[in-house]
Amino acid sequence: MIFGIGVDVLEAARIKKTLARFGEHFIDRLLMPAERAQLGRTKRPERFIAMRFAAKEAIVKAMGTGFAHGIWIRDVGVVQNAWGKPEVAYSPRGEKMRRKLGIGNGHVTLTDEAGLIVAVAVLEAAPGRAPKAASKIAKRARAAPRRKARRR
């Protein structure tokens, strides 16, 4: 059973500008240690970072929490397996929230074309756990007032 689906689209140029402005500080705040290790092996770091940013957004949308309610940007991520397939990864805090929500396996796909990055995440409900078990947390997340993001 599907727990949630999340999609994110962003312009790669936004990440390029952010990297130019904040550099290593942005990378440190964004990437999990496993993602950081893979960044060191990539030939196109700006593309890699943009794809990870979009993937994180798609994953938390599928979780129904966004970057709130106990989830930070480094609590979810994407690492490539030995075949190059992107796989959803969680920090210890993200793993705790995943279990609390009743989320099982996660799937993500990433693509880029003409300066756009697209990420789609599909999260399955954990075996033996009905999604209703997470309804209180998800309801609270949806009911919480949204803060406007500051643009600089």
Structure tokens at 130: 């009905």
Q: What is the mean pLDDT of each run of 10 residues along the chain (152 residues)?
A: 96 94 94 95 94 97 90 95 94 95 96 96 88 54 58 52
Close Cβ partners of 59 (under 8 Å, ≥ 6 residues apart): 6, 76, 77, 78, 88, 106, 108, 121, 123
* CA separation for the pair 12, 50 (Å, rounded): 6
What percent of the residues of the chain are helix, what percent strand, and what percent coil, each to the nearest 5?
A: 45, 25, 25
Structure tokens at 151: 């643009």
What's the pLDDT at 68? Answer: 86
What's the pLDDT at 87? Answer: 96
* CA separation for the pair 14, 128 (Å, rounded): 41
The 8-class DSSP code of residue 133 comes to G
